[in-house]
């Protein structure tokens, strides 16, 4: 059954993904690496997947593209962990580049999948019908086992990840926060959901009429948060790969940047207001 699923994903979805102009780095393999504490990078070069480990089981945040499922599993194994040790799957938002491989990873791990209720329909159909100017590809649908509440703490053993609803990029966009201990330091770690407009229609969006208000609330919420370490779904937004390459020892210092989250929010807010003003001017 698992083999058939993997073949279906590879033939049915990877082919369509490679026919687009999306960055090749999104499905380019890269070596997995330790970040801080019990957090590891197991995604592709251009799209992150984060493994949070504990003696009682692991949490995997995001799966990247459909064709990357086997890559993510190999990366987990290269670090000395097992896919069957993943007990909970999480997602930051229901787009093909972050949710595409979740169906395969769920089948191979046996993990439960928890998601924001506002992204449930997209995750379970694999189709995003939001008014968007980008070519948002379909992806293998994945069954949602449980619905999250804003502020909920997801626990596996000593791991405690807090769900923070930050809608806008999708209606169910979910950021995550946790603490990690490394070399005697307790670090605040934030996995921010995408807060770019991402091709979404902002003016007159019938399928998402509160999109502007949602974006602004999310900017305010994330802008008020404090983070020592920022780990976004698109790693270049916090130079995650570059920091790993510059690391000279196993200490967490290279990943600690308390300016990263404010900069990310400020840049996204600026671009959002620019895009909104353009759409408003065009609609007059």
Question: What are the tens digits of pLDDT across the range 203-245?
Answer: 999 999 999 999 999 999 999 999 999 999 999 999 999 999 9
pLDDT tens figures, 174-203: 999 999 999 999 999 999 999 999 999 999
Is 41 in contact with 191 (CB distance < 8 Å)? no
Structure-block tokens of residue 183: 């070399």
pLDDT, residue 219, reads 98
Is 5 in contact with 104 (CB distance < 8 Å)? yes
- List the beta strands (DSSP E) in the chain: 33-34, 39-41, 50-52, 58-61, 86-90, 112-115, 146-147, 153-156, 159-165, 174-182, 185-191, 229-230
What confidence tier does 28 reach under pLDDT thresholds 50, 70, 90? very high
Structure-block tokens of residue 26: 């999104």
Kindly give, in sequence order, each residue whose CB lies less than 8 Å from that of residue 56, ignoring residues fewer than 6 positions away: 87, 156, 157, 158
What confidence tier does 134 reach under pLDDT thresholds 50, 70, 90? confident
| Distance from C-alpha of 201 to C-alpha of 209, rounded to nearest angstrom | 10
Indicate whether 16 pLDDT > 60.
no
Q: What domains can be seen in the chain, in order of their start residue?
A: 2-16+26-283 (3.60.15.10)
What confidence tier does 132 reach under pLDDT thresholds 50, 70, 90? confident
Which residue, among 155, 274, 272, 269, has the nearest Cα to 222 in the 3D structure?
269
Is 112 in contact with 83 (CB distance < 8 Å)? no
- List the beta strands (DSSP E) in 50-184: 50-52, 58-61, 86-90, 112-115, 146-147, 153-156, 159-165, 174-182
Strand-pairing partners, residue 34, are 40
Pick from 104-118, 128-142, 185-199: least confident:
128-142
pTM, to two decimals: 0.92
What confidence tier does 9 reach under pLDDT thresholds 50, 70, 90? very low
Kindly give, in sequence order, each residue whose CB lies less than 8 Å from that of residue 124, ignoring residues fewer than 6 positions away: 141, 142, 143, 144
User: Whole-number mean pLDDT of the chain?
Assistant: 92
Q: State percent of the chain over pLDDT 90.
A: 88
| Distance from C-alpha of 232 to C-alpha of 166, rounded to nearest angstrom | 13
pLDDT, residue 155, reads 98
pLDDT, residue 42, reads 98
């Amino acid at each position: 059954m698992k083999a058939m699923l993997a073949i279906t994903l590879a033939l049915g979805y990877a082919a369509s993904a490679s026919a687009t102009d999306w960055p090749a780095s999104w499905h380019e393999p890269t070596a997995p690496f330790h970040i801080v504490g019990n957090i590891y990078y197991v995604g592709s070069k251009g799209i992150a997947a984060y493994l949070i480990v504990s003696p009682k089981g692991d949490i995997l945040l995001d799966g990247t593209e459909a064709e990357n499922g086997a890559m993510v599993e190999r990366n987990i194994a290269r670090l000395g962990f097992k896919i069957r040790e993943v007990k909970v799957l999480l997602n930051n938002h229901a787009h093909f580049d972050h949710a595409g491989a979740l169906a395969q990873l769920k089948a191979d791990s046996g993990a439960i999948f928890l998601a924001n209720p506002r992204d449930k329909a997209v995750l379970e159909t694999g189709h995003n019908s939001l008014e968007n100017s980008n070519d948002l590809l379909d992806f293998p649908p994945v069954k949602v086992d449980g619905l999250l509440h804003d502020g909920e703490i997801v626990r596996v053993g000593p791991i405690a990840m807090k769900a923070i609803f930050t809608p806008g990029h999708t209606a169910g966009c979910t950021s995550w926060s946790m603490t990690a201990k490394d070399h005697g330091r307790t670090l605040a770690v934030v996995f921010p959901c995408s807060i770019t407009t991402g091709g979404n229609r902002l003016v007159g969006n019938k399928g998402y009429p509160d999109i502007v208000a949602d974006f602004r609330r999310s900017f305010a919420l994330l802008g008020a948060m404090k983070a020592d370490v920022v780990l976004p779904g698109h790693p270049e937004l916090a130079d995650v790969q570059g920091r790993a390459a510059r690391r000279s020892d196993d200490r967490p210092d290279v990943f600690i940047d308390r300016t990263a989250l404010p900069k990310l929010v400020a840049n996204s807010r600026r671009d959002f207001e620019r895009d909104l003003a353009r759409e408003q001017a065009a609609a007059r």
